[in-house]
Each structure stands twice: as structure tokens, then as C-alpha cells.
Amino acid sequence: MTHRLEGKVALVTGAGSGIGRATALALAREGARVVAAGRRTGPLEETARMAAERGGQVVAHAADVTKEGDVEALVRFTLETFGRLDIGVNAAGGTFGGGPTHTLDTSCFREWIDGYLVSAFLSTKHEVGAMLKSGGGSVINIGTFVGYTKAMPGTSGYAAAKTGLIGLTRTVAAEYAPHGIRANVLVSGGADTPMFRSWNASEEQRSAAARLHALQRVANPEEIANAAVFLASGEASFVTGSVFTADGGLSLV
């Protein structure tokens, strides 16, 4: 532990598994006090337990971040529990239907937009509101290579949501830089998460996904979390409005 984030308070959405969980644990490892948010209480409590075993402080709070009332309550809980908010990491999402664009149901497309873009908008909106009171902060929205560095058939909803996230984040960076608030997108390559395994069920599929990367493997979630810690820390004090890529060289291949 280097305690780079000692005294900081972080809110992480999607913290019940995958990159969100790994990021909550990494922030706690560096001394931040963390609120772990997501839909299901059980996985969030497991994240909190894992942090406690490692000497970190994580508090679980269930919320559906596609609903503004839930997000308002979540940020209010964070302020009531820890008194401030310095770091917001928005990693919430889900897996919805897919397929070729001409067959994709509009309701399914909207699920992708709600799950990944609207949720990030609502989280960012209320995190920034709290950070204005704290004198600054760092917002990190978790992006993906899908639709950004590589177009993948059958993913139009996911790609639209995640590339929209880039425009949202860069606008927020421009709006709030005068207030000491930084905002960046962290674009991940393939990472060994439950979502990755649901999309790549067989060993053959996972091996093919690994070969898309120059490093010939996908990331551990902790490797993406380490990049998030950097963006949250003072070491990235001059980094805002960036699309920060941790993709194992996927964009090179």
C-alpha cells in the first residue's frame, strides 16, 4: 500500500463484480474510503468484506443507477457517511440483447443506452454536484474498445452507448475544469470479467479474444483498476478530457 488516496472518498458503481469490484478494492487499498454501489446487495457486501480483509474500508449501498432518484440517494448516502466525495468511478452496466442492427429491437437498444450511457450521465451529474461542494474531484467513466478502436458486428447498442460516453465525459471535463474537477474515460481492452465470459463462453472463444491483443491475452480486472487509481490520484493532476487506454495493445493489432 502506498496510500496515494489517503483522506479521499470514492463512489464506485458496478462494484459487485468485474472491473467495478476490482476498482473499489484498489481504491481502498490506496487509502480511500469507498462506497460500493450496484443493484444487488449480496455481491456488494462481498466486495466490502474483501476490502476489510485487506485492511480497506468499503461500504455497500444498493442502487439502480438508471434511476435518478436512486442516484441522488446514493450520493446523499456517500456524503452523510463520509462527509465529502472526491472520486467517482462509473462502471455500471449489464448484458442485454444483441444481433445485427436491422433485427435489433428498439427496446433492446434503449436498454443498452440506459444501462451504460444514461446511468453514467446520472452518476456523473450527481457526483459532480457533490464535488463542487468538496472543492474538486475526479470522475472516471469506464469505456471499452467496442465501437471506439474496433467495430464488432452485433454490438450496435453497446457501441453507441460506450462511444456516447466519450462525448459526455469530454464535455464534463471542459465544463468543470475551472472548478478543479477532472473527467476522463478509461477504455479497457478485453478483461476477464463475468461479462467477458458470458460473451466468450468457450475456451476457443476466449483464446480468439486474447489474440486480438498485442500482448496476446486479456487483462485481469485488477490491471484496469490500477489505471483507474492513477486517474483518481494526484499523479494524474494534469490529465482531464482524455480517453485513457489500457487495452493490451488491442488498438495496435
Q: How many helices (H) and strands (E) does the chain have?
A: 9, 7
Please state the rounded mean pLDDT for residues 214-239: 96
pTM: 0.94
- Find the range with the poorest average confidence among 24-28, 115-119, 121-125, 193-197: 193-197
pLDDT band at 15 (very low <50, low <70, confident <90, very high): very high
Check if 116 is active-site.
no
Q: What confidence tens digit (pLDDT) does each residue in 65-95 have?
A: 999 999 999 999 999 999 999 999 999 998 8
Q: What confidence tens digit (pLDDT) does each residue in 145-179 have?
A: 988 988 889 999 999 999 999 999 999 999 999 99
CB 119 within 8 A of CB 93: yes
* pLDDT reported for residue 1: 61
Please state the rounded mean pLDDT for residues 224-249: 97
From its phi and psi, is residue 218 left (phi > 0), alpha (psi between -120 and 50) or beta? Answer: beta
Q: Which residue, 80, 181, 176, is CA-closest to 139?
A: 181
Q: Evaluate if residue 199 carries a pLDDT over 90.
A: no
Q: Greater confidence, 166 or 252?
A: 166
Domain ranges of the chain: 9-192+222-245
Q: What mean pLDDT value characterizes the chain? A: 95
Query: 56: which DSSP letter?
Result: -
CA end-to-end span of the chain, whole Å? 35
- Find the range with the poorest average confidence among 151-160, 187-196, 242-251: 187-196
CATH architecture of 9-192+222-245: 3-Layer(aba) Sandwich (3.40)
Alpha carbons 121 and 88: distance in angstroms, whole number: 12
Q: Evaluate if residue 198 carries a pLDDT over 90.
A: no
